[in-house]
Amino acid sequence: MKIRENVPIAKLTTMRLGGPARYVIEIERVEDLPEAYAFAAEKDLPVYVLGGGSNIVGRDGGFDGVILVNRLLGMGEVAPAKDDKIELWAASGEALDDFVRYSTKYGWSGMECLSAIPGTVGAAPVQNVGAYGQDIAGVLKNVEAYNIKTKQFVTLPASKLDLGYRRSIFNTGELVGRYFITKITVTLEKTELKPPFYNSLQKYLDDNEIDEYTPENIRKAVHAVRTKLPNPEFIASSGSFFKNVYLNEDDSKKAIDKGIPVWDGGKIPSGWLIENAGLKGQLIHGMRVWETASLVLVNESAKSYKDLDAARKEIIKTVQDKYGLTLEQEPMELGDE
């Protein structure tokens, strides 16, 4: 077990902000987990689990605790395919994008639209990652995890995870921090994919005269469409910084009367609100509202979490003043202010 001390959270997260974490341990084998948690307990320190750090913002005061960085690898078939269905598993430290590529290679469908989402397999159920009309909840069979309280390895069926829009028992409610996810299993099908796809995806397919809707072709198309988003390898960001807004029927009608687009189920694209509040492309306290996706905030020249905080407040207030709607942040936060 490799233990490092005083590692900046900025170096572990794609927004590249945040002060030092007291200890960082890389988890390469599930057997490391009891030992790593015992190490933290012995020192009476809190533990935080990190995958790729693409949905976490570090605060300036750092983290007086132990960060476990997930490096668990491996993926494969649970059993040979049957009745045009298959179960695939992946260890939680694998890149989600690699798991998606593996699934489409042999024509399996259900995850192709999750292609190119940064981060690890293990984080996917945490906020129920989703894109282009799919989410991990749609295919997830179960999650294997280490229960920190009972010190046991458990299997949790998807039905017990309360998966919703950017939500699960892992990020909402009393079980937050209880589990280290070690592995997931998904059920995929060999089915014909049917258009129409999500607007921008469909447009790409039409423009490029792609009419063979194989999972692999859709995966590649999603990759191409997503080039409008900043690549966290080169540009500091946590992707979408705000969640979309969901309204009840009455409030949806009021929003429509004000000329705000409301999609199925009362969804308002927050990117539209930010763009139409005049913030598209703006540099605010060192944070850039991304020109081709207004929901995304990029850390262009922010010196600290304080700059991000000031930018966030300004964006929320501008949208609130113009549309009377309050944006809610998507990424979680780690450390002291």
Ligand X SMILES: Cc1cc2nc3c(=O)[nH]c(=O)nc-3n(C[C@H](O)[C@H](O)[C@H](O)COP(=O)(O)OP(=O)(O)OC[C@H]3O[C@@H](n4cnc5c(N)ncnc54)[C@H](O)[C@@H]3O)c2cc1C
Report the 3 state secondary structure along 156-188.
EEHHHCCCECCECCCCCCCCCCCEEEEEEEEEE
Q: Interface with ligand X includes 118 (CB under 6 A)? A: yes
Closer Cβ to ligand X, 19 or 53, answer by number: 53
Catalytic, 174? Answer no
Q: Interface with ligand X includes 269 (CB under 6 A)? A: no
> Which one, of 252, 238, 321, lies nearest residue 52 by Cα?
238
Contact track, ligand X, 214-253, x by CB under 6 A:
---------------xx-x----xxx--------------
Among 17, 55, 59, 197, binds ligand X (CB under 6 A): 55
Residue 266 is classified by DSSP as G
Among 23, 63, 108, 180, binds ligand X (CB under 6 A): 180
Q: Catalytic: which of 166, 219, 288, 312?
A: 166
Catalytic, 330? Answer yes
Q: Interface with ligand X includes 17 (CB under 6 A)? A: no
Residue bearing tokens 């113009």: 322
Q: Interface with ligand X includes 163 (CB under 6 A)? A: no
Helix locations, 57-137, DSSP H: 96-105
Q: Determine the length of the chain.
A: 337
Query: What's the rounded Cα separation, in Å, for the pair 314 and 325?
Result: 14
> Cα–Cα–Cα angle for 127, 133, 134, nearest 5°?
55
Q: Interface with ligand X includes 270 (CB under 6 A)? A: no
Closer Cβ to ligand X, 60 or 94, answer by number: 94
CB of 106 to ligand X, least distance (A): 24
Q: Is 332 exposed, middle or buried (0-12, 13-18, 19+ CB in 10 A)?
A: middle
Among 18, 19, 53, 271, binds ligand X (CB under 6 A): 53
Side-chain-side CA neighbours of residue 95 (13 Å): 9
Catalytic, 166? Answer yes
Catalytic residues: 166, 240, 330
Residues forming the site for ligand X (CB under 6 A): 14, 48-56, 70, 92, 117-120, 122-124, 126-127, 129-131, 170-171, 179-181, 229-230, 232, 237-239, 332
